[in-house]
Structure 1
C-alpha cells in the first residue's frame, strides 16, 4: 500500500491549500488522474500540491476553483501561500506594502522587486536560493499584483545609474528588464528616475530604503540587511529620510530623461548591436 502523507492544515498556508485540495477531490470521488484531466495537468502535479511538496501556481488555483465551484477560495488562499514563501523577516513588510497608498523607494544596486521581470528575479534568487527559485519568483510576482488593482498605490522609484549596468542574468534578461522599466513611461501611477553617476556623493549612499504612506496609518520607513529587515514609524526617522528622498529626487534625472537613458542603455549595452560589437 502506498503511504500518503497526511497534512496538518494548521501547519502553514501551503499545507492548508494541499489539505483542502485533497479533501474536495476525495469528496468528489475523483482520482488524481481524473482531476488532472479536468484541470489540464498531470495527476503527479496534483499529488505534489496535495502533499505540500510543490507550491501551486495562480493558474492551478483558478482551475481548482472552476472544477470544484469554490467561488475563488483557492485563488484567495494562494495569496497567503505565496506570501508565506517570502523570507519570514520580510513578510511583515510585504503585508504593509500591499496596504500602502504611496510607495517611495531608492535602490542603489538592483531593480526594485515590484518592477522586476520573472527572469531578472530568477537570476537574482538563484544566487542564494537555487532550490527555491520557482516558488520565490512566484511570490515576488504576486507582490506586483498591487500595481494592477483598480486603485493602485502611487509608486516612485529612484534607481542608481549603476543598476542599469550591473549584469543580472545575461544580456537577454537585462534587455527585457530595462524594456519593462521603459514600459512604465506613460503609467501615471509608476514614476521612475535615474540618479546619475555625475551627481557624485549623495544622501542615499548608505544604502537602499523604502518609505510607505497610508491613508489612515502612520508612515513607515524600511531598510534591510542580509537576514533581517528594519521597519519603523519613528517620526524623526520618517522626517529625516523623507527630506533625504526629496534631495535624491532633486538630483535625479527627470522621469522623461530617465526613460530615455534606460532605453539607450538597453539597446547600446544589451541589444543586438552590443553583441555584434563584442564579436568584432
Structure 2
C-alpha cells in the first residue's frame, strides 16, 4: 500500500495526480474529510486518490477543480491518468481513437467499447477477473470522451445480429445497452448498422476489426487477440480491410432497419414483461 509521505509524483500520472491533490488541498487548509464534504464524496475516497490507491473519475476531477479553483488542472490530468491505466498493449489504440477523424469498426460478439454502457462494460470486464472492477470500468468508459470534443470523430459500427442476442450481464443490462444504441438514431456522427443472420457468409467472418482514418496520416487497421492488440499500417492490409468493410456495410441493414431490429430485440427478448 502506497503511503502518502513517500508518494513519488514522477512515478506515474496517477501518483502525480494524488500528489497535486494533496498539495493543493493542504494549501487550502482543508482536511480530507472537509474536502470530501465539499465534493460530496467521503474523506476516505479523497485519501485513496491522494495515495494513488483509487483512480479518480472525470466527475471527481471537475468537482475538485471547482472546489479548489485550479483552473481545470485536474480535469486535464485525469485524461492522462485514465489512459495510463489502460492495459499497456491497448494504450496505442486509445491514442488512435483520440486522433482519428473516422472510426469504422465491425464487431462479431460484443458492443464496441466506445458505445458500451457502464453496466455492460462492467459485465464484460468482470469475466474471470473481478479485481479493481470499478476502476477498470471507469477507465474503459473514459475513452468515450472523444465524442465530447469540439470536432468528434465519425463512428461507423457494424455489429453482428448475434451481438444483440448474446445476453451480457442479464436482461436489464441488455435492455439498457440496446436502448443506448438507439439513442444515437438522430446523431449523424455515430452510426449503427446490424449485419443480420440472414446475410449468411460475409467478408468479416475472420473476426472483428477496426479501421482508423486520419487527416494527414495513413489509415490503420486494428485487430485484437487474447491480451494483445495488432495495429497495422500496411497498405495491403488496410486496403483489404477497407474493401471488406465496404461489403459489410452493404450487406448490413440500413440505419433505419437496424434501429427497428434493435428495438424489436430489446422489446421481445429483453422486454420488462418477460422479467419474472
The bucket for the TM-score relative to the shorter chain is over 0.9
Aligned to 1:173: 173
- Residues 4 and 50 of structure 2 are in contact (CA less than 8 Å); yes or no, is this contact kept in structure 1? no
The C-alpha deviation readout for 1:178-224, integer Å capped at 9, x for no partner, is: 01111111111111111111111111111100000001111010011
TM-score, normalised to structure 1's length?
A: 0.94
Aligned to 1:77: 77
1:48 maps to what in 2? 48
Gaps of 5+ in 1: none
Paired residues, what number?
274
Measure, in 2, the Cα distance between the counterparts of 1:134 and 1:35.
Answer: 22
Tell me the CA shift for residue 267 of structure 1.
0.3
Please name the residue that 1:191 is paired with: 191
> Could you tell me whether the CA contact under 8 Å between 1:106 and 1:158 is conserved in 2?
yes
* Secondary structure, aligned partner of 1:137: helix
Pairing of 1:219-234 with structure 2 (within 5 A): 219-234=219-234
Report matched runs for 1:269-280 at 5 Å.
269-275=269-275
Tell me the equivalent position of 1:113: 113
Other structure's SS at 2:131 match: coil
1:32 maps to what in 2? 32
| Equivalent residue, structure 2, for 1:91 | 91
Residue 98 of structure 1 aligns to a residue in which SS? Answer: helix
1:4 Cα offset (Å) = 4.3
Name the SS for the 1:188 alignment partner: coil
SS at match of 2:29: coil
Q: Matched residues in 2 for 1:70 and 1:80: separation?
A: 17
Deviates more, 1:186-195 or 1:258-267: 186-195
Structure 2 length-normalised TM? 0.96
Change (3 A) 1:106 1:42: same
**More displaced stretch, 183-192 vs 263-272:** 183-192
Give the secondary-structure state (helix, strand or coil) at the position aligned to 2:99: coil
Give distance in 1, aligned partners of 2:5 and 2:134.
23
Partners of 1:184 and 1:36 in 2: CA distance: 36
CA distance in 2, matches of 1:138, 1:249: 31
What is the distance in 1 between the residues matched to 2:83 and 2:180? 24
Quick one: distance in 2 between partners of 1:174 and 1:208? 20
Question: Which runs of no fewer than 5 residues in structure 2 stay unpaired?
Answer: none
Q: Which residue of 2 aligns with 1:152?
A: 152
Per-residue deviation at 1:273?
2.9
